[in-house]
C-alpha cells in the first residue's frame, strides 16, 4: 500500500486515508475477517514471502461478490501475479454461484485499471469525492 501511495497516489489520496487503510490490514484483522464463510483472501507467495494478496467478500446469497482490496509488491509487478490472483478470485466467486464481481479503484491506478479491463471488467460508475474526498471508479465483471 505504501509503495503504491508513494508512486501513484500521493498527490491524490490523503496520507491519513492511507494510514487508516493500512491500520485495517493486520494479522488480527485477517483472522477475524476469515471467520465469515463469505469472505476470502488469496495470497501469492514466492520463497515464503508474501508478494501479493486479493481480499473479497460474497454478499450473502445475492450472487454479487466484491473485490475489497488487491495488491502486488512492486518488485513482482508486471509478472502475472495480479492476473493470477484476479483469475483465482473470479474462479472462486463463480464456483460459489456469483454472477457478478464489483470493485472500486482510484483513477490514478492505471496499471490496475488496465489489468481489470484486460480481465473483462468494465467501468460502471465514476464516483466523485466518494471516499476521503477522492474520486473512485466502480468496475464490474459479469461471470
Please write the tens of the pLDDT for every residue from 108-139: 999 999 999 999 999 999 999 999 999 999 99
Task: Say whether pLDDT at 1 is over 90.
Answer: no
Please write the tens of the pLDDT for every residue from 34-52: 999 999 999 999 999 999 9
Q: How confident is the model at residue 12 (pLDDT cuts 50, 70, 90)?
A: very high
Report CA torsion sign: 67, 69, 74, 75.
negative
Q: Which CATH number fits the domain that encloses residue 111? A: 3.40.630.30
Would the pTM of this model clear 0.75, i.e. be above it? yes
Residues sharing a CB contact under 8 Å with residue 57, sequence separation 6 or more, in sequence order: 36, 38, 39, 40, 65, 66, 68
Domain range enclosing 100:
2-142
Total count of domains within the chain = 1
Task: Say whether pLDDT at 24 is over 90.
Answer: no
Amino acid at each position: 500500500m505504501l509503495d503504491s501511495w508513494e508512486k501513484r497516489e500521493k498527490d491524490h489520496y490523503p496520507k491519513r486515508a492511507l494510514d487508516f487503510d493500512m491500520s485495517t490490514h493486520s494479522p488480527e484483522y485477517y483472522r477475524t475477517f476469515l471467520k465469515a464463510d463469505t469472505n476470502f483472501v488469496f495470497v501469492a507467495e514466492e520463497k515464503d514471502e508474501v508478494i501479493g494478496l486479493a481480499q473479497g467478500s460474497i454478499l450473502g446469497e445475492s450472487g454479487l461478490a466484491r473485490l475489497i482490496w488487491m495488491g502486488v509488491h512492486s518488485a513482482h509487478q508486471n509478472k502475472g501475479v495480479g492476473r493470477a490472483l484476479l483469475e483465482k478470485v473470479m474462479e472462486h466467486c463463480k464456483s460459489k454461484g456469483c454472477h457478478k464481481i464489483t470493485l472500486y479503484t482510484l483513477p490514478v491506478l492505471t496499471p490496475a485499471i488496465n489489468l481489470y479491463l484486460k480481465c473483462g471488467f468494465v467501468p460502471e460508475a465514476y464516483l466523485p469525492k466518494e471516499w476521503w474526498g477522492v474520486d473512485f471508479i466502480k468496475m464490474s465483471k459479469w461471470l
